[in-house]
Amino acid sequence: MAFVFYDTETTGVDTNFDQILQFGAIKTDGDMNELDRFEVRCRLMPHVVPSPKALQVTRITPSMLIDPAIPTYFEAIQLIHKKMSEWSPATFMGFSSVGFDDEILRREFFKSLRKPYLINTEGNSRHDALNMIKAAFAIDENVFKTELNHKGNKSMKLESLARLNGFDSSGAHGALFDTELTVKVMGLLKNKQPDLWHEYLKTKSKVVVENLIKQEKMFTINENFFGKNYLFLVAPLHPNSFMHPVYKWGQVVNLSTNIEELQKLNYQDLKKEMKKSPRFYKTIKSNKAPIILDKSLSLKVDPYKKIGINLLNKRAELMKSNEKFSQDICNILKEAAEEKMETASQEDAEPEETIYSGGFDTFNKDVPLFEKFHSSEWKERLALLDKFKDDRLVTFGHSLIFNEAPEILPKDIYKKIKRRIASRILSTNKEKWWTVSAFYSECDEIRENEDKMFSFKTVDEKLKFLDGINDYVMNLEQKYSDA
């Protein structure tokens, strides 16, 4: 199985409302030998206000945001999708990608009328290099040379790990360069822990993870608390009741817990016990590339080493045999999830936020139209949108045309889109997306704070950069002020 390592640089950290500005990827064989590479930049969409901090970290200048020589957003996503499809099937992986890069990439595909789950369907799987690194440190705290962060813990940042272990990191925070660093660091991990390497990779599939949780009596997981990595010996709940009833994630219990005493509790007392910290139960997010390892690894560390294998086996057997106890845990988890949903914000979600909550039935009915949409001219695409059933996709489609060929939009649709953009970016409220007002505030804060130098060598260099992006946003503000 081939690997595809990739990284994104974006306008900010909100996966729903920010956008990709740079994308870099490297395809390797199973032995980490490079087979191919790909890189693309794209222009900023007219409705996206960037984060000043994000632009400074990546050194993306205002001229890059509007450079006509580089692809538009729509063109760049098209190139990314094409390359990733060509490289499939593969295991897709980034550094801390499951929580961010994967999510923003899904939404970019979703908003450009493409199947969003390319990297974990149709023979593909996904993993996260940071998950593997954390597990490696939990097993051997000296697996890599590290430096301490400001809290006194080992730094798990990619640039730091690469630099301390002999790799040039001077180009860090560019998408392709960070991808190169990820390949190098993971190649080093493979060489240092060759036997564990394959164990780390086995959980790249959600189905494999769920089968392990259902079938195994006990196993090792790792977790990171306050910058420190720990191993835990856990036992899954009963095979008939081991999944969270709402979120569909596996549930296990820490075998340092006195299971026999827990199982004597009535429902209400168990409910109280489940609220205590540290929790005796743990959640394994099967679709987030967790690390599941052999029980022998945690048996070597306390408290499991002191407890002893006989008592640990007994506790694991109690979990496998007591279905009612597992059902009670799942029912309590269900009650908590339903209560959380009831108290959640009742405001209407924006279309960009509905990739998971907006329903799949209507979306799936429109999927057969995607290929024709992307093979048509813009006028034909506009007409084709009338055949779409999912209102979210129609909204995205009109926005794509607004960005790429605004002259073909009917005047009422054009004005509606422009007013929507204006209401968003000119809002003076605290919004989920970046507003012009929020941009100016952060820009001023960075300008006035001499400690915030990022990668700039002089204050004048930093101020010149800030002035440039400030001018860009002022022009954006002026453009939409009369919408």
Rounded percentage of the chain residues whose pLDDT exceeds 90: 83
Asked if 126 contacts 119 with a C-beta cutoff of 8 angstroms, the reply is: yes
> Measured between alpha carbons, how far is 100 from 14 in angstroms, rounded to an integer?
9
* pTM to 2 decimal places: 0.94
Residue 353 tokens read as 């936020």
User: What amino acid is encoded at 310 in this protein?
Assistant: N
Cβ neighbours around 195 below 10 Å, total: 6
pLDDT of residue 58 exceeding 80? no
> For the chain, give me the number of helices (H) and strands (E)?
22, 10
> Measured between alpha carbons, how far is 312 from 255 in angstroms, rounded to an integer?
6
Q: Report the DSSP beta bridge partners of residue 281.
A: 253
> Measured between alpha carbons, how far is 362 from 418 in angstroms, rounded to an integer?
27
Whether omega before 62 lies within 30 degrees of 0, making that bond cis, reads no
Q: Please compute, for residue 152, the number of CA atoms within 13 A of its CA located in the half-sphere on the CB side.
A: 0
Terminal CA-CA length for the chain = 52
Element (H, E) at 466: helix 459-480
Own/partner long-range contacts of 439-446 (Cβ < 8 Å, ≥24 apart) = 439/49, 439/50, 439/51, 439/52, 439/473, 440/470, 440/473, 442/51, 442/52, 442/53, 443/52, 443/469, 443/470, 443/473, 446/52, 446/53, 446/56
Confidence band, pLDDT 50/70/90 cuts, at residue 345 = low
User: What amino acid is encoded at 340 in this protein?
Assistant: K
Q: What is the pLDDT of residue 347?
A: 63
Q: What is the pLDDT of residue 482?
A: 86
pLDDT of residue 314 exceeding 70? yes
pLDDT of residue 455 exceeding 90? no
Q: Taking each helix axis from N to C terminus, what angle separates 101-111 and 391-404, rounded to the nearest 10 degrees?
A: 90
Q: Which residues of 376-388 are buried (b: 16+ CB within 10 A; e: fewer)?
A: eeeeebbeebeeb
Least confident of 86-90, 129-133, 377-381, 445-449: 445-449
Task: Provide the 8-state DSSP code for 286.
Answer: T
User: What amino acid is encoded at 400 in this protein?
Assistant: L
Task: Label residue 105 exposed, middle or buried (CB < 10 Å: 0-12, 13-18, 19+).
Answer: buried
Residue 469 tokens read as 């992006």
Asked if 178 contacts 158 with a C-beta cutoff of 8 angstroms, the reply is: yes
Per-chain mean pLDDT for the chain: 94
Least confident of 69-83, 173-187, 441-455: 441-455
CA 126 remoteness from chain centre: 11
Nearest CA among 112, 132, 148, 233 for reference residue 187? 132
pLDDT of residue 346 exceeding 60? no
Q: What is the pLDDT of residue 78?
A: 97
Q: Which residues of 197-227 are buried (b: 16+ CB within 10 A; e: fewer)?
A: eebbbebbbbeebbebbeebebbbbbebeee
Least confident of 59-68, 271-280, 284-293, 369-378: 59-68
Q: What is the pLDDT of residue 456?
A: 81
Q: What is the pLDDT of residues 349-373, one digit of tens each?
A: 899 999 998 888 899 999 999 999 9
Nearest CA among 81, 71, 85, 87 for reference residue 110? 81
Mean pLDDT, rounded, for 57-73: 85
Mean pLDDT, rounded, for 452-464: 85
Name every residue whose Cβ is closer than 8 Å to that of residue 216 and which is 6 or more positions away in sequence: 236
- Between 446 and 92, the more confident residue is 92
Cβ neighbours around 269 below 10 Å, total: 11
- Within 59-140, strands assigned E span 91-94, 125-128
Residue 397 tokens read as 């489609």
Q: What is the pLDDT of residues 185-205, one digit of tens each?
A: 999 999 999 999 999 999 999
pLDDT of residue 420 exceeding 70? yes
Mean pLDDT, rounded, for 218-230: 89
Q: What is the pLDDT of residue 102?
A: 98
Element (H, E) at 361: helix 361-366
Name every residue whose Cβ is closer than 8 Å to that of residue 85 and which is 6 or more positions away in sequence: 118
Cβ neighbours around 371 below 10 Å, total: 11
Q: What is the pLDDT of residue 481?
A: 92
Confidence band, pLDDT 50/70/90 cuts, at residue 74 = very high
Mean pLDDT, rounded, for 41-47: 89
Rounded percentage of the chain residues whose pLDDT exceeds 70: 99
pLDDT of residue 206 exceeding 80? yes
Nearest CA among 161, 134, 411, 165 for reference residue 293? 134
Mean pLDDT, rounded, for 339-357: 81
Question: For tokens 């799936």, what's the residue?
Answer: 364
Name every residue whose Cβ is closer than 8 Å to that of residue 394 and which is 6 or more positions away in sequence: 385, 388
pLDDT of residue 98 exceeding 90? yes
Mean pLDDT, rounded, for 225-246: 92
